[in-house]
Amino acid sequence: MVCGTSALLWVPQALVLLFYDVHDLGKHKKPDQKCELVGTFSLITQAALGLLCLSSLIIKRNYEYPIRRTWKVWSFDVSKQLVGAFGVHVFNVFLSILKSQDDALHLLADDEVDDDPCDWYFLSIVLDCTIGVYILYLVFSWLNQFCKKTLGITEIDSGEYGDPPKYRAYFKQLIIYFLALMITKLLVFAIVEVFQDQLLWITHNIILLWLNEYPEEVEIFMVMFVIPVVMNCLQLVLIDNIIQNQAGKLTNLIMGGLTGSDETDSQIDREAQAIYAREEAKRQGRYGSTHDDASP
């Protein structure tokens, strides 16, 4: 899984590198050179970012108690985020480049304008990891209910893949999650379009102003490593809570207070199973069964 994350993060960077080569950008370093989203330093930085972010989900799984997802179920859940991250990452990087170039063409006569691809990338990361997570939760919940009640699609309870886990259920859930993520990204993009001048000015002239005094590598390291590590780790953990099996998550929350009690492991396991069954029954009562009756 670690190698898979690194590969996913390198693919969009290779595409952007190709884009830069075609347009003959960034061939020479100049005194007033702006932050570039490509290059050896940027690629290594983002590969390390991917490994660190994935480690946060591994740590989170190790703290799941008493119901811990199997490695296969956990891999299904995490791979949804990897596929989604691929799409969003490509969207963010290309948007950062295109937006900065577009604004440079329209505002060429304004000497005070100093668009920087890293400004756009930073803005995209912050919005995705804050308001974007909440919008994703709303869109994902609505899309799931629409597919269940209106379209009658089965096996789409997020995080529930059957016993043993079935790839059919996984791919259905992956499609729904990816659609919800792309809708969310478009909504966040709309917010940026409406308030782009204000947001970009705040980003460049207030939040990232102090980085102008340092070499380009420092800005890249901060904007594409330090800040994304913190924000993306938080985002991955929050989204994992959204897409994992909700009955299991609630059971762990309820049973969390029993840690360190005098009850034996077998007693805790029995109580956990009882709570899990109760939470699953509540969910079925609210939303109805979405499992394929013909499935084993």
Instruction: Check pLDDT > 70 for residue 171.
Output: yes
Nearest to 66 by CA among 253, 262, 283, 279: 253
Query: Which of 159-163, 193-197, 289-293 shows the lowest per-residue confidence on average (mean pLDDT)?
Result: 289-293
Tokens for 141, please give them: 């919940």
- The per-residue pLDDT of the chain, averaged, comes to 74
Instruction: Check pLDDT > 80 for residue 35.
Output: no
Query: Which of 12-26, 27-41, 96-110, 227-241 shows the lowest per-residue confidence on average (mean pLDDT)?
Result: 12-26
More confident residue, 202 or 16: 202
Query: Which of 151-155, 163-167, 243-247 shows the lowest per-residue confidence on average (mean pLDDT)?
Result: 243-247
**Cα 13 to Cα 10: distance, rounded to the nearest angstrom:** 5
pLDDT band at 68 (very low <50, low <70, confident <90, very high): confident
Tokens for 277, please give them: 């069954």
Q: What is the pLDDT of residue 101?
A: 67
Threshold 0.75, pTM exceeds? no
**Cα 208 to Cα 224: distance, rounded to the nearest angstrom:** 12
For the stretch 225-275, pLDDT in tens is 788 788 888 888 999 999 998 877 777 777 765 554 455 556 566 666 666
pLDDT band at 169 (very low <50, low <70, confident <90, very high): very high
**Cα 259 to Cα 262: distance, rounded to the nearest angstrom:** 9
* Site of tokens 């929350």: 253
